[in-house]
Chain A
Amino acid sequence: MKKQTKLAGLQKRKAIAGYIFILPFVLGFLAFMVKPFFESLYMSFCEVDVSGKTGFTFNFTKLANYVEAFTVDTQYSGFVTNTFTKMCINSLAIMVFSFFVALILNQKFKGRALVRAVFFLPVIISSGVILGVEYNNSLLSSVQDMIEKEGAGTSVTDAIKNILITSGVGSRIFEEVFKIVDGIYDVAISSGIQIIIFLSGLQTISASMYEAAAIEGCTAWESLWKITFPMVSSLFLVNWIYTIIDFSMKSDNEVMSKVKTTMIAYLDYGLASAMAWAYFLIIIVFIAITSLIISKGVYYYE
């Protein structure tokens, strides 16, 4: 009996210590997240009037903002579907690319440290404003479009595409594949973190497993599918979620810039919040569904 009370005392002490440790987060969350979070949710159902002197007033208008975003606004729904399809295709490409690169970078060869350094460089140089700075000059982007148009047919992928189309095999799938090949630079520079995550997973697989498999007569190809793949499968889930969030939050995202212009240029806070929330909800639902599917296939060792 005495022992139990003592344990409870220790547990209590630990609980208090735990709360002290996470106190900064709790305070920050309450102060800077809860209120803006619900306020922005509420705002999306309101007509926000900022012209008043004493701040702003809300007029509750039910779903009017959402209806306006999807039916009245000419650009928004197009942007959302566009970004969404782009996100699906790009995320898939990033997953395949980063897994493949991590496999290569995990092998031993000369100059491996150098190659690794180069592959992680995008984590540093392609973040934040650096990526967008070249394209936010309208003159420059128009010239770039022109160059792209004039250069059509000269690249290898275009030539192959033409051959495929004239011979009658060209279909939608091929077109998407070619789009990815043309945009390999975007894929390469946005998969730095994913490569690191996969690499960290690959290095935790013990070499004895491969040895045992090789002695049993497993080829390298077989052990890739039977050992490597299941062992890092949990990282696929993590990477998938990270990739989608990363993509949806990029500042050069069409939807995000639309939200920003609605908010800053037109001062329509209600509509902007509604747009942001609708977009956010779509992404959350997408993440939930896909991660449910992926987590069915995840294999947990131990």
Chain B
Amino acid sequence: MSKTKTNKLSLKERNRLYWERNRKSQGYLVKRTAKRASVSISRFILLFGMCFLILQPILNKISISFMAEEDIYDPMVISIPQHFTAENYQLAATFMDYGKTLFNTFIIALTIAIIQIAMSTLVGYGFARFDFPFKNFWFACVMLVIIVPPQTISTALHLHFKYFDIFGLIKLITGDTINLRGSVLPYYLMSLGCMGLKNGLYIFMIRQFFRTIPKELEEAAYVDGCGTLKTFVKIMLPDAKPILTSCFLFSFVWQWTDGFYSSMFLGAVPLLSNKVTRIGDQLSHYMINTMKVGTGASIGYTNCIVATGTLMVIVPLIVLYLFAQKGFVESLSSSGIKM
């Protein structure tokens, strides 16, 4: 029986047909329907619960961020604020110097992500497609970069940049080492050298992707007269678009929220990730010095402002994610990381 025909039948007719088929199959049809329904219901409950678990803190933050201070202590108010206010946002924005900080963060995250991914693509392609002496040794070095936590070498890195020198050359010329602490330059240099935040991971992912491209494609390009560079740009790069987008998103987002490298190298530049960690202290300063409240900010109110600040940091990311989500998730899970 074709589908259009069943659709035309009335509900009653369809029911009758169903039960008839069920009788013919000796109860198997009912069993199967029940089984399928129970599976999808339990799946729905499970997934709904877990999605709620993940989303709840964000929803909670959103509802708190619109509350006035008296609402926070009002036991009658749970999630919908009684005194709807946008004051928290204004306050958090002034504490973080939002406009300027947002701009800074955006520029830094964007440039760093572009540099990191461009370099990682080159390196990943080199590892995936060429044979050269000591290849395994260098790849072991990539693994080392992934595994060694930046905190382990942070002490030495700290001193390294405080008395920066390239094999004693700068000291030879100017007579002194350069103090690069507090400037943006070291971090850009590190990103150029693939030593930035989680850079080893991007190299690894991109290499894994390039390895899946058939060798014949490359050989055909060579036979047709493409040079190494031209093959890379014209043949390989267009294919790698999904994985590059995913890596770029990862890089952008992780750079946006990163606390370690930001506080270590970019401390002088106002960034969202630096500002948001100080927002609670700033609030109590503000309460004591400007509002003349001797005890500082109350706990609930601090919580509220911190939540608002956090929300303001992640909202641009969520907007970005909503736009890129489909391509991101699909590309990663379909072509992504094949080991």
Contacts and interface: CB of A to CB of B under 8 A. Distances in A.
B275 to A, nearest CB: 10
Contacts of A113: 326, 329
B254 A127 contact: yes
Contact of A280 (B149, B256, B273): B149
Contact of A133 (B50, B149, B276, B335): B276
A56 B162 CA distance: 11
B286 interface: no
A235 B338 CA distance: 9
A121 B47 CA distance: 14
Interface string B91-106: 0000000000000000
Contact of B192 (A11, A28, A133, A284): A28
B223 to A, nearest CB: 13
B123 A25 contact: yes
B163 A33 contact: no
A124 B318 contact: yes
A280 B194 contact: no
A234 interface: yes
B2 interface: no
A167 B240 CA distance: 59
B160 A134 contact: no
A123 B279 CA distance: 24
Interface size of B as a range: 35 or more
A32 B277 contact: no
B26 interface: no
B306 A248 contact: no
B247 interface: no
Contacts of B166: 31
B200 to A, nearest CB: 9
A115 B51 contact: yes
A224 interface: no
Nearest to B151: A256
Interface in B125-174: 125-127, 129-133, 135, 138, 141-142, 144-160, 163, 166
Given A27-B193, A276-B152, A140 B130 contact: no
A87 interface: no
A121 B153 CA distance: 31
B51 to A, nearest CB: 5
A125 B317 contact: yes
A33 B195 contact: yes
Contacts of B313: 130
A277 B148 CA distance: 10
Given A14-B130, A125-B58, A140 B299 contact: yes
B260 A28 contact: no
A127 to B, nearest CB: 5
B54 A122 contact: yes
Interface in A74-129: 101, 104, 107, 109, 113, 115-125, 127-129
A35 B126 CA distance: 24
A127 B253 contact: yes
Nearest to A138: B280
B259 A259 contact: no
Contacts of B122: 21-22, 24
Contacts of B279: 133
Nearest to A13: B228
A78 B112 CA distance: 38
A184 B254 CA distance: 23
A64 interface: no
Contacts of A137: 280, 302, 306
Contact of A40 (B55, B130, B146, B155): B155
Interface stretch (A158-166, A199-207, A208-216): A199-207
Contact of B195 (A28, A203, A269, A284): A28
A90 to B, nearest CB: 16
B258 interface: yes
A25 B333 contact: no
A25 B138 contact: yes
Interface in A196-239: 196-197, 199-201, 203-204, 234-235, 238
B43 interface: yes
A299 interface: no
A127 B189 CA distance: 24
A130 B338 CA distance: 30
B9 interface: no
Contacts of B336: 196-197, 200
Contacts of A143: 299
Contacts of A238: 337, 339
Given A101-B50, A104-B43, A196-B336, A26 B138 contact: yes
A125 B318 CA distance: 8
A280 B148 contact: yes
B183 to A, nearest CB: 15
Interface in A1-30: 11, 13-22, 24-29
A182 B170 CA distance: 56
A16 B40 CA distance: 57
Given A128-B273, A196-B337, A251-B259, 20 more contacts: A15-B131, A17-B126, A24-B194, A25-B193, A25-B203, A28-B195, A32-B157, A32-B195, A35-B156, A39-B156, A40-B153, A104-B46, A107-B43, A127-B253, A129-B257, A136-B277, A137-B302, A140-B280, A143-B299, A280-B149
8 contacts: A127-B257, A128-B257, A129-B259, A129-B276, A133-B309, A137-B280, A251-B260, A269-B159
